[in-house]
């Protein structure tokens, strides 16, 4: 909900049921779907006043007897943490896509306004007609580049978790359950599965070393940065789109009056050309910078540059911690070629060869051009 109010648990449960019916989960047994319940947690952070009820959203499952001996309360807490991370990634992806739609609409509206005022892109760039148009273009371009880098992080992290962690882990779990000869072996296999998934998902409470904790904190900061960026851009773009709607309405009224043989604009203060998007952004930034609760930059351009630089720095930090984590085993190339994959869920062991392969593929996806790797080497 846009108003930030928490809907009733009954409403959220209804939304969940609609989502299940529109997915492949509808083919699961009815008794299994009936045990899937919505949970709105009470222990939310009081630090953020802009928090949404979706920060408290989670799923729980009513495990029947005797399965609760396998999926016990501690295991259910791990499932909730894993689901919380996946849900947050999907939510951030949706927010970033929404800001992209806003940016596209704003770019088209800005282009129309230029044409209507007699300026085209070539005139703005070559002879500097209306510098505010050029400044607005520059801000939009920088925001688009930053948003694309964040989308790149989120989509590749989703792909890694779904296919490099969950799917591989589930295949290993089913294989061990089928080969188990005792009930204790089934419990042990399931516990190892959850520990492995939690570790590979960078969930801090399951981490045993500094590299893992560092990975967890960097991923958390990256997601928080994505959410802050969406709030920042939504405010900027929302103001600009509202203003463009008003100017379009004024223009239609002026055209109607001209067609009726009257003056197009009766009031100079009502003229649509008195203000532009860049002036609107600057004025709003100066008026309510404290309300947005952002870094106290001297102007809007510096804030946009700061966010871009922070995104670049956090991407480098994440990749550096991933490189450190891959190197923590100290395996040589000969070891990798001649040894079999050991269990990655053993306490005190580093990642298995299979896990290293997943991490290597993740780092390749995040930095396929080696841009960040070169930046990391410069920092060393």
The least confident of 52-56, 146-150, 159-163, 303-307 is 52-56
Q: How far apart are CA 264 and CA 262, in angstroms?
A: 6
Closest Cα to residue 55, out of 17, 97, 85? 85
pLDDT over 80 at 209, yes or no? no
Give me the phi and psi of 36, to 5 degrees please: -80, 120
Q: What is the pLDDT of residue 276?
A: 67
Q: What is the pLDDT of residue 152?
A: 93
pLDDT over 80 at 280, yes or no? no
Q: What is the dihedral of CA 73, 173, 168, 19, to 10 degrees?
A: -50
Q: What is the pLDDT of residue 48?
A: 45
The least confident of 25-39, 44-58, 214-228 is 44-58
For residues 33-59, b (16+ Cβ closer than 10 Å) or e, as one string? eeebebebeeeeeeeeeeebeebebbe
Tell me the mean pLDDT in the region 227-242: 83
Highest mean pLDDT out of 28-42, 125-139, 324-338: 28-42
Q: How far apart are CA 213 and CA 350, in angstroms?
A: 13
Q: CB–CB of 355/315 below 8 Å?
A: no
The least confident of 56-70, 169-183, 317-331 is 317-331
Tokens of 175: 């294989």
Unique residue bearing structure tokens 């009726």: 260
**Over the chain, what is the mean pLDDT?**
77
Q: What is the pLDDT of residue 326?
A: 79
pLDDT band at 177 (very low <50, low <70, confident <90, very high): very high
Q: What is the pLDDT of residue 299?
A: 78
Closest Cα to residue 119, out of 132, 105, 104, 106? 132
Highest mean pLDDT out of 57-71, 195-209, 262-276, 279-293: 57-71
Q: What is the pLDDT of residue 116?
A: 65
Q: What is the pLDDT of residue 291?
A: 52
Q: What is the pLDDT of residue 289?
A: 58
Closest Cα to residue 158, out of 208, 78, 97? 97
Q: What is the pLDDT of residue 336?
A: 39
Q: Indicate the pTM of the whole model.
A: 0.77
Tell me the mean pLDDT in the region 214-228: 84
């Amino acid at each position: 909900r846009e108003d930030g109010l928490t809907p009733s648990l009954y409403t959220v449960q209804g939304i969940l049921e609609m989502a299940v019916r529109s997915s492949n989960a509808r083919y699961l047994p009815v008794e299994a779907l009936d045990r899937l319940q919505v949970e709105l947690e009470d222990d939310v952070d009081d630090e953020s006043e802009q928090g949404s009820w979706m920060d408290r959203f989670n799923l729980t499952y009513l495990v029947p007897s005797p399965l609760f001996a396998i999926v016990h309360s501690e295991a259910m807490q791990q499932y909730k943490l894993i689901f919380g991370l996946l849900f947050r990634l999907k939510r951030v992806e949706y927010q970033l896509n929404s800001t992209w739609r806003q940016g596209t609409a704003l770019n088209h509206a800005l282009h129309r306004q230029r044409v209507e005022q007699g300026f085209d892109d070539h005139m703005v760039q070559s002879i500097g007609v209306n510098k505010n148009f050029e400044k607005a273009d520059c801000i939009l371009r920088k925001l688009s580049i930053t948003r694309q880098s964040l989308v790149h992080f989120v989509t590749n992290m989703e792909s890694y978790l779904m296919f490099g962690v969950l799917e591989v882990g589930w295949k290993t779990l089913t294989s061990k359950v089928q080969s188990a000869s005792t009930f204790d072996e089934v419990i042990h296999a399931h516990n190892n599965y959850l520990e492995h998934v939690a570790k590979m998902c960078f969930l801090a409470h399951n981490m045993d070393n500094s590299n893992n904790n560092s990975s967890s904190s960097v991923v958390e900061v990256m997601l928080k940065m994505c959410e802050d960026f969406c709030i920042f851009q939504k405010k900027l773009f929302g103001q600009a789109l509202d203003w463009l709607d008003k100017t379009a309405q004024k223009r239609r009224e002026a055209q109607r009056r001209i067609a009726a043989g009257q003056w197009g604009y009766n009031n100079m203060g009502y003229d649509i050309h008195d203000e532009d998007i860049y002036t609107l952004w600057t004025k709003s930034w100066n008026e309510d910078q404290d309300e947005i609760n952002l870094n106290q930059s001297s102007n809007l351009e510096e804030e946009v540059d700061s966010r871009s630089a922070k995104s670049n720095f956090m991407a480098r930090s994440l990749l550096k911690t991933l490189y450190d984590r891959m190197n923590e085993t100290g395996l040589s190339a000969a070891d990798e070629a001649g040894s079999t994959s050991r269990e990655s869920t053993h306490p005190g062991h580093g990642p298995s060869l299979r896990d290293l392969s997943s991490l290597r593929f993740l780092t390749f996806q995040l930095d396929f051009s080696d841009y960040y790797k070169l930046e990391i080497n410069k920092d060393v």
